Structure 1
Amino acid sequence: MAGDTTTLEGGCLCGRLRYRLERVKSAYWCHCTMCRRASGSAALPWVSMAREDVAFISGEPAIFESSPGVTRRFCGHCGSPIVFDMAREADVDVTIGTLDDPDRVSPTHHIWVSSALHMARDLGEGLPRYDGERPSDP
């Protein structure tokens, strides 16, 4: 990741939701079908951090359970996707595109490339790619 990513802020398209992130751990591109459909994009870039390191500082997100144990938080007014939260994981993910300064982070890998659209296969060329979840760090 690029730059100082200790504290980041962002918000939705209409400005009703604002959030603050602390201690970002990683950033990646997701190519899974659910992320594509939730965002309307060919792939979705995320930052990951511990659940307790995400705080909404204005507004309350709407919540959608996209599959058992998985919730997505988004603006109920403009629809901007913000948070992906898988209950069995310690970390949550926040969409890079909703950051005030998205260039402060750079994805370091891709996940679910087995589901990638042909048009997105060269996205972030040269970065490691995994057919499913990123393998655990040793």
Structure 2
Amino acid sequence: MAPLTGGCLCGRLRYGVRRVQSAYWCHCTMCRRVSGAGALPWATVMRQDFAFTQGTPATYASSPGVVRAFCGTCGSPILFDMAAEAAVDVTLGTLDDPDAVRPDHHIWAETALQMSAGLGAGLPRHAAERPAEPE
């Protein structure tokens, strides 16, 4: 996969992604509230494969050990960062080419709204977090 770029609505924040590990639809209450949408698509990226290239994001500690980064000017949500994890999650809608990455599963489907039932039809749906990959 070629490197990807993205940014916020107003252009104050820009970022680059070297490689995406996976992508998914999240139906949790927090993602719905932060985006104002029925579900939010994310790309999982190893921490070393993501960098802000312009601007400094505002942050919000949404739960213990979790920081969400967003544009302090226009409010675009960009990053979900669990400090204990080796990867971060980037909102697909902020990519310059959002169709370059396709979600392949859903998480927190147990809290999905009926309005989002047709999103990603046919993809695996996990009640909560995606189960760990067998080693």
Q: Per the shorter chain, which TM-score range?
A: over 0.9
Backbone CA RMSD of aligned residues: 0.8
| Equivalent position of 1:20 in the other structure | 16
1:70 aligns with 2:66: yes
- TM-score for the superposition, normalised by structure 2: 0.96
Structure 1 residue matching 2:15: 3-state secondary structure:
strand
* Aligned equivalent of 1:119, options 87, 93, 115: 115
Distance apart, 1:91 and its partner CA: 0.8
Distance 2:84 2:113 in 1: 27
Cα deviations by residue, 1:2-46 (Å, 9 ceiling, x for unpaired):
xx3x41100000000000011110010000000000111100000
- Percent identity of equivalent pairs: 66
Structure 1: segments with no counterpart, 5+ residues: none
Structure 1 segments (4+ residues) deviating >2 Å: none
Describe how 1:31-110 pairs up with structure 2 within 5 A. 31-110=27-106
- TM-score for the superposition, normalised by structure 1: 0.94
Distance apart, 1:122 and its partner CA: 2.1
Distance 2:130 2:36 in 1: 23
Distance apart, 1:51 and its partner CA: 1.2
Figure out how many residues of one structure are paired with residues of the other and give that number.
134
Structure 2 residue matching 1:85: 3-state secondary structure:
strand
Distance apart, 1:52 and its partner CA: 1.6
Distance apart, 1:79 and its partner CA: 0.1
